[in-house]
Amino acid sequence: MSTVPSFRHGFFLAGLTFLLFLIFGYLSDLILVQHANWIIADDLIMAAAAAIVVFLYERERSRLLSEKLRVIRDMNSFVRNELQILYTFLEHPEKARVPTIERSVERIDWALRELLPGGQHLPGAPPGEQSESPGSNMKRSA
């Protein structure tokens, strides 16, 4: 999944767009002083430029939203499948099935840490123990 642009990046792009529109508008005004019959063309060009900027923004926003929805659908399916395994083994508790339940819990924990955005690694933790959820400690204490 793509990273979320920073505020500074968005502010820079907005400032750059403002500056480009300002320069283009100023230059077109200089031309219009000499050729007054081009006013409608100037207005159409500025309106088209603004429409293109809004269209590109909305297309990117729609793409990001579609990507988020895809991740949510995938995670929903993944977690439902693993929970189905857990529910099945709860009906028939046996010592031999404990490893299967632990693997299911580990796969859910992995998916929540690695596939969903925001799964930051804990600073200073060893590589094997980074980003552990509170639920992963329960199986060790039992």
The secondary structure of 84-113 as a DSSP string is HHHHHHHHS--GGGHHHHHHHHHHHHHHHH
pLDDT exceeds 50 at position 126: no
Which pLDDT does position 59 carry in this prediction? 94
Q: What is the pLDDT of residues 1-33, one digit of tens each?
A: 456 668 898 889 889 988 988 898 888 888 888
Burial per residue of 66-79, b for 16 or more beta-carbon CB atoms within 10 angstroms, e otherwise: eeeeeeeeeeeebe
**Stated pTM of the model:** 0.52
Average pLDDT score over residue span 36-61:
87
- Rounded alpha-carbon distances, angstroms, from residue 5 to 13, 72, 104, 113: 11, 21, 34, 21
C-alpha 81/C-alpha 67 separation (Å) is 21
What are the domain boundaries of the chain? 7-141
